[in-house]
Amino acid sequence: MKELTKAEEEIMQVLWELESAFVKEIIKKLPEPKPAYNTVSTIVRILQQKGFVGHEAHGKSHKYHPLITKQAYTKSFMKGFVSRYFSGSYQQMVSFFTKEDNLSLNELEDLLKELKDKEHD
């Protein structure tokens, strides 16, 4: 799965939240300063070409919807992220964030408990 640019990801976050939307509705959800209609429309068409977004015709307008779930994209993104920055080791990643973010022992224990619970699902 291809990675999204920052602008594409921002649009996808809105579509994941709304589940389907016209370009005008996407723009309403974006932070100030609002991008131009043509800019958002172009990004949505690029997302469509990449296979992230589908559409339904409504007269001359299109209502867009995600074809990829947020969970599926996050899983793919994190796999690539861990591979590129931590030699594919989730242990190295957790160790890095533990040191950088000064995770407390309780937070680390909660994380380990959550991982163990997932392992048994």
Is 1.10.287.3610 the CATH classification of the domain at 6-66?
no
**At CB < 8 A and 24+ separation, what contacts does 67-71 make?**
68/1, 69/16, 70/12, 70/13, 70/16
Q: Per-residue pLDDT for the chain (121 aa), expressed as one digit of tens each?
A: 888 999 999 999 999 999 999 999 999 999 999 999 999 999 999 999 999 999 999 999 999 999 999 999 998 888 888 899 999 888 888 788 778 777 777 887 887 788 777 666 5
Among 53, 70, 67, 79, residue whose Cα is nearest residue 13: 70
CATH of 70-119, one of 1.10.4040, 1.20.120, 1.10.3470, 1.10.10: 1.10.4040
Domain with CATH 1.10.10.10 in the chain: 6-66
Domain with CATH 1.10.4040 in the chain: 70-119
Note the pLDDT of residue 119: 64
